[in-house]
Structure 1
Amino acid sequence: MALLDIRNLSIEINSPNGRIKIVDNVNLTINEGDICGLVGESGSGKSLIAKVICNAAKESWIVTADRFRFNEIELLKLTPNKRKKLIGKEISMIFQQPLSYLDPSKKIGKQLIQNIPHWTYKGRWWQWFGWKKRRAIELLHRVGIKDHLDIMNSYANEISEGEGQKVMIAMAIANQPRLLIADEPMNALEPITKAQIFRLLSSMNKNQGTSILLTSNEINSISDWCSSLSILYCGQNAESGSKESILEMPYHPYTNALLHSIPNFKQPLPHKGRLNTLKGTMPLLEQMPVGCRLGPRCPFSQSKCVIKPLTKHLKHREFSCHFPLNLRENQRKEKENVFIPLTISL
């Protein structure tokens, strides 16, 4: 069952040169209890989509969608107060650079206690006094912080990036959300801390059934933890589907470039060999290409790419490309694997 179902989401802004479509008809589906990876370069629109889901969009943004359902409720049709109440109870978000979102004038413990909602209390009435402090300590222990007294008595400038990220996760899960959005939570962290946070999010998903939307610009770093992937480029859908099918045989050239962007150090590299990178850079907002936005950088682009490709569906896979890769090879393998029963006539 789809917990979050978005179809043809568009985000536009007004500029001196006219209206610019930052996010162009993006589809996104997150099933109940899944970990979905939203992958793309910086500037592809991952954080914008996450903020729209969390009702943190700016007033100047023009947000439209054919379908924007959370738990079978159309969010864009709700009043602002009802939407804020529903999202505040069911959805939480972990932001990038957590130390910049913490109040530098308040201790961590006080900020964490203030973020614990009253409706999460499930004890007896005589246990009400001091329950938020006990709950804050429990949340810190859950995210892997053992010395809770030191963290709760510290200010934001006195803790490390890894500790700040864990504190931000503790604040995000204080309301026991059904959907947790982690917007590049491993940015600028050391590998050991990254592995700890990944294991923490995975345990939340398995033990509590929390659905997670994990955004990143490195497909290889999150592929071990996600069950499905959705690839974005310049606000357009490139490809989406199960993790195994995308990693084994990508259809979109951009997905293929992301998978081969990091060298395979298991094999010897040629001396002064070139890295597998796409030529060019991400275009500016005012200079978005017509049609497929990857066209000017794509090594397989042709004149037909000036027309935006339609989204094609093939066995739980979606991709938007006029000239997909590996499509014929995959169809050939599927035909070879088809079981044809033998009939023996007596």
Structure 2
Amino acid sequence: MPLLDIRNLSIELDTPHGRVKALEKVSLTLNPGEVHGLLGESGSGRSLLARAIMGIPGHNWTITVDRMMWDGKNLLELDSKERRALMGSDIAMIFQDPSGSLDPARSVGSQIIEAMPRNAELKFWQQKKYKRQIAEQWLHKVGIKNPDDLMEAYPWEISEGECQKVMIAIALANKPRLLIADEPTTSMELSTQAQIFRLLAKLNQVHGVSILLISHEIETLTHWCDRLTVFYSGQVMESGVTSELINSPRHPYTRILLEYLPNEANPHAHKAFMPSLQGSAPALQHLPIGCRLGPRCPSARKQCVAQPLLIHEKDRYCACHFPIRYDENKHDHTAS
């Protein structure tokens, strides 16, 4: 049974320019112990999907969904108290704006301790010391060199990178079953990024934590994720097992993204022009009808004015009227 199962989720936003559909019929399945990557440009709707899962919609949102199940429970039937209890225990999220997500009036240590579960084996007078020790351990694991000093600091006294590490420590301290990581290594140096990803991989492999990893860095996602879902302007383009999606992309947009990956076999690749799509992603106020990639897609035809359905084929999902054939991918690999 899937841990998370979402079918046909749409999010409409009320704006000064009228109501716009920011997410359109998005479906997502996450299995226990899986690392699932959400790939797309900024503004493609990945963070909106994460907030909808967490149950923290904006004041101008209108959400419609056919099914949103969590471990056999219908999230749509839970009241606000039950939803908050679930988000505080089983599901945690690392937000993209760490300094804006922390309480500026409370110390870093108190915010981490608040998120930690109670140890039933200890007496109540032992809890405080135990939680402080564990909080300092989590800060050390995410790359804080002086966790004891940082415990007493306030969010406005530390750097953006340190705020990001604190957010990760808060999310992990509760030992969730699902961790939603929205650009978790923003504002971090490369060595710390590698440390964070190793920590997430260890949580996944040793403790079975499922991870929904949101990023625009395709190389990172293809390295760490079991499955990938490719977004473009609020629509799912393609989804499938990472290795299969890399070797034989079915959607033209996925194929172009994969061309951004460095070609280490070619010693002159760093001197070549980087391939790119013509034009730019559309604004929410001026979304094209049908497939939103249509005006930029090299394979677009007149049928693309109708939105393509998400077709299921051999554990792969693709929303395209003219998907790339497997023999085309094979020919391209042979030619390269």
**TM-score (norm. length: structure 2):** 0.91
Summarize the Cα distance change of 1:101–1:86 in structure 2 as closer, same or farther, 3 Å threshold: closer
Q: Give yes or no for contact 2:107–2:155 (8 Å, CA) kept in 1.
A: yes
Corresponding residue number in structure 2 for 1:339: none
1:14 aligned onto 2:36: no
- Equivalent pairs counted in the alignment come to 330
Contact 1:263-1:275 at 8 Å conserved across structures: no
**Structure 1 outlier segments of 4+, above 4 Å:** 270-273, 328-332
Task: Give me the whole-angstrom Cα distance separating, in 2, the residues matched to 1:266 and 1:133.
Answer: 50
Determine the structure 1 residue equivalent to 2:186.
187
**Kept in 2: contact 1:40–1:216 (CA 8 A):** yes
Please give the alpha-carbon distance, in whole angstroms, between the structure 2 residues aligned to 1:292 and 1:192: 40
Q: How does 1:1-346 map to 2 (within 5 A)?
A: 1-117=1-117, 120-125=118-123, 127-264=126-263, 266-269=265-268, 273-329=272-328
CA RMSD of aligned residues (A): 2.2
Cα distance in 1 between the residues matched to 2:319 and 2:274: 26
TM-score by length of 1: 0.89
Gaps of 5+ in 1: 333-346
Aligned to 1:289, the other structure's residue is in SS state coil
Q: 1:72 to 1:330 in 2, by over 3 A?
A: farther
Q: CA deviation at 1:128?
A: 3.2
- Distance in 2 separating the partners of 1:17 and 1:103: 33
CA drift at 1:207: 1.4
- Contact 1:180/1:211, CA 8 A, preserved across alignment: yes
Change (3 A) 1:272 1:140: closer
Distance 1:271 1:173 in 2: 38
**Matches of 1:51 and 1:196 in 2, distance apart?**
26
Q: Distance in 2 between matches of 1:298 and 1:3?
A: 34
Q: Any stretches of 5+ residues in structure 2 without a counterpart?
A: 332-336
Q: Match of 1:212, as an amino acid?
A: I
* 1:63, distance to aligned residue in structure 2 (A): 0.8
Q: Is the 8 A contact 1:162 1:193 kept in 2?
A: no
Larger Rg: 1
- Greater mean deviation of Cα atoms: 290-299 or 170-179: 170-179
Identity of aligned residues (%): 48
Question: Are the structure 2 counterparts of residues 54 and 264 from structure 1 closer, same or farther at C-alpha, using a change threshold of 3 Å?
Answer: same
Q: Deviations over 1:40-96 (max 9, x none)?
A: 000000000001111111132111111100111110122222222222221100011
In the TM superposition, what is the alpha-carbon distance from 1:173 to its structure 2 partner?
A: 1.7
Q: Is contact 1:97-1:187 (8 Å) kept?
A: no
CA shift, 1:104, in A, is 3.5
- Alpha-carbon shift at residue 106 of structure 1 (Å): 3.4
- 3-state SS, counterpart of residue 214 of structure 2: strand
User: CA offset at residue 186 of structure 1?
Assistant: 1.9
Structure 1 stretch 129-138 or stretch 184-193: which is displaced more? 129-138
Question: Against the structure 1 CA distance between its residues 237 and 108, is the aligned structure 2 distance closer, same or farther, given a 3 Å change threshold?
Answer: same
1:269-294 deviations in Å (ceiling 9; x for gaps): 47974320011111011110100000
Give the Cα–Cα distance (whole angstroms) in 2 for the partners of residues 271 and 329 of structure 1: 26
Q: Which amino acid aligns with 1:206?
A: Q
Amino acid in structure 1 at the alignment position of 2:218: I
